[in-house]
Amino acid sequence: MSPILRNRIEQVSTSAGIKKGDQVRVMTGRDRGKTGRVLGVNPAKRTITVEHAGMIKRHTKPNPSKNVKGGIVEKEGSIAISNVLLYCDSCNKGTRLGHKVLPDGTKARVCRRCGNILDK
């Protein structure tokens, strides 16, 4: 094996089909049952940030030049992608994600429970 291939790092980056702006339901952890909008996705770490879920407290120093007040700030922390499910509005439940090729040739994400198209 050549040294170039030996030192190459295999990077598997996947987001499990969840995108920024999707509605998800938290299935495990202290925020189980909460639904919220995805604020960010980190495919390399396989984590997402969900609105009003996984809240953490950050102790910040005051910084007058950036107009930041000091104190304890509550913000959203990251949650593992495996701990959330995509939320289907027609089922009102968390659902697995499927793909379907539409007649016009485009690929759409669909609900595995009811078959409803999840893309807007």
Q: Where in the chain are the domains?
A: 11-92
Answer whether 0.85 is exceeded by the pTM: no
Token pair recorded at residue 88 = 């289907």
Q: Is 82 left (phi over 0), alpha (psi -120 to 50) or beta?
A: alpha
The helix (H) or strand (E) run that includes residue 4 is helix 3-6
pLDDT of residue 27: 95
CATH, domain 11-92, list 2.30.30.760, 2.30.300.10, 2.30.30.30, 3.40.1190.10: 2.30.30.30
Whether residue 24 contacts residue 36, with contact meaning beta carbons closer than 8 Å, is answered with: yes
| Average pLDDT of the segment spanning 49-76 | 94
How does the average pLDDT of the chain come out, rounded?
89
DSSP 87: E
